[in-house]
């Protein structure tokens, strides 16, 4: 029997021809892994940019925020599949509290969409942790990501902070109250001072008693009969009289009214019979209200007489 030898080059040509058959190609295409097609992009129907990029088709699938990819996976699941560290969390189920005001993010990074604002001391459910900047939480019905350094799982820490805040708020409230009271006192003092200045100006311009419509004592008149009897005037150094009044506790300012009457506080200084009008008592004269500060020899002969201190 003769043996027919087929050269190696011919055998290779035959093999390549078989591979090129349409049926063989179709069968090979159909047996490709669906997972590989999903992750790396299908040749047929894929985005032209992906087909032209070749190996660049390993790029992440494009999905909208919170939307599912063509394979039914969320963006977070897709990122986790590709090993993106920020999206890989260890599952936990713990209560946590906000150490400060924070924002719940749609994705675990700073520039992500804001879902809602969380207030200091708000309670949330911590459901995922990792070594990155944002942790996964559930705030009410909303699920998102919050900065890890804004969270604590220690209820005692929050309680202590709340107590400190309460003490601080009380201290601030007391301080504010004291400031308001001080302002009110200052306002009252200012008002009183203003009113007193108005009164003092009116008093400085007074020339007669508001309660007397009879004759008024003057330098030219010398003596008159006023609302409480005879009135005269004198002009002496009042320093000793004022010192005596100070010892008795009368600390009103010594000054001179525009018409020449010598004043102690709001009252005209006068001398009287101390048995009738004791020192410090108030008595009305034709010029206004007097304060008895002194006495004189006239008092024995005319116990109702008033001697008015003036600059005349």
Residue 1 lies in a domain: no
- Least Cα distance to 286 among 201, 219, 229, 222 occurs for 229
- Least Cα distance to 290 among 259, 260, 265, 255 occurs for 265
Q: How many domains does the chain have?
A: 3
Is residue 13's pLDDT more than 60?
Answer: no
pLDDT digits (tens, 9 = 90+) for 245-275: 999 999 999 999 999 999 999 999 999 999 9
Of 33-47, 58-72, 185-199, which gets the smallest average pLDDT? 33-47
| Co-location of 242 and 299 in the same domain | yes
- Least Cα distance to 89 among 119, 132, 30 occurs for 132
Residue 287 lies in a domain: yes
- 69 confidence band (pLDDT: 50, 70, 90): low
CB distance 228 to 218 below 8 Å = no
Q: What is the mean pLDDT of residues 148-170?
A: 84
Question: What's residue 193's pLDDT?
Answer: 82
| Co-location of 175 and 140 in the same domain | no
Distance of CA 243 to the CA centre of its chain: 54
- What is the token pair recorded at 106? 């749609």
CB distance 146 to 109 below 8 Å = no
Give phi and psi for 61, each to the nearest 5.
-60, 140
Average confidence score pLDDT of the chain: 80
Residue 21 lies in a domain: no
Kindly report the length of the chain: 312
CB distance 214 to 226 below 8 Å = yes
- What is the token pair recorded at 1? 């029997």
DSSP string spanning 111-124?
TSPEEEEE-TT-EE
Question: What's residue 25's pLDDT?
Answer: 45
- Least Cα distance to 208 among 259, 264, 282 occurs for 259
- What is the token pair recorded at 293? 């500060």
Q: What is the mean pLDDT of residues 78-102?
A: 89
Question: What's residue 49's pLDDT?
Answer: 45
Give phi and psi for 53, each to the nearest 5.
-75, -20
| Co-location of 124 and 171 in the same domain | no
| Co-location of 170 and 149 in the same domain | no
Find the domain containing 119 and state its range: 88-153
pLDDT digits (tens, 9 = 90+) for 17-53: 444 545 444 444 444 444 333 333 334 444 444 434 4
Is residue 185's pLDDT more than 80?
Answer: no
Residue 6 lies in a domain: no
Q: What's the rounded Cα separation, in Å, for the pair 70 and 255?
A: 100
Residue 57 lies in a domain: no
Q: Looking at residue 107, which CATH number applies to its domain?
A: 2.30.30.170
- 2 confidence band (pLDDT: 50, 70, 90): very low
């Amino acid at each position: 029997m003769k043996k027919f030898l087929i050269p190696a080059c011919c055998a290779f040509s035959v093999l390549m021809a078989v591979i090129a058959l349409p049926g063989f190609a179709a069968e090979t295409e159909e047996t490709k892994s669906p997972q590989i097609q999903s992750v790396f992009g299908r040749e047929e129907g894929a985005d032209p940019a992906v087909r032209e990029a070749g190996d660049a088709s390993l790029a992440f699938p494009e999905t909208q925020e919170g939307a599912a990819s063509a394979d039914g996976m969320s963006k977070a699941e897709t990122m986790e599949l590709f090993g993106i560290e920020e999206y890989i969390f260890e599952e936990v189920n713990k209560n946590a509290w906000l150490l400060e005001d924070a924002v719940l993010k749609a994705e675990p990074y700073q520039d992500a969409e804001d879902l809602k604002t969380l207030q200091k001391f708000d309670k949330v459910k911590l459901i995922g942790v990792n070594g990155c900047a944002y942790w996964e939480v559930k705030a009410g019905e909303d699920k998102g990501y919050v900065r890890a350094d804004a969270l604590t799982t220690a209820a005692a820490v929050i309680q202590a902070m709340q107590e400190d805040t309460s003490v601080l708020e009380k201290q601030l409230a007391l301080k504010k109250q004291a400031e308001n009271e001080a302002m009110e006192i200052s306002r009252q003092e200012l008002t009183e001072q203003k009113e007193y200045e108005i009164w003092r100006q009116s008093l400085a311009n007074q020339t007669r008693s508001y309660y007397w419509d009879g004759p008024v004592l003057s330098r030219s008149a010398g003596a008159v009969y006023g609302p409480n009897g005879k009135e005269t005037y004198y002009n002496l150094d009042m320093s000793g009289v004022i010192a005596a009044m100070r010892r008795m506790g009368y600390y009103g300012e010594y000054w001179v009214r525009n018409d020449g009457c010598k004043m102690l506080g709001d009252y005209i200084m006068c001398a009287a019979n101390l048995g009738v009008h004791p020192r410090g008592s108030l008595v009305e004269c034709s010029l206004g209200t007097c304060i008895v500060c002194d006495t004189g020899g006239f008092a024995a002969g005319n116990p109702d007489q008033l001697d008015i201190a003036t600059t005349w």
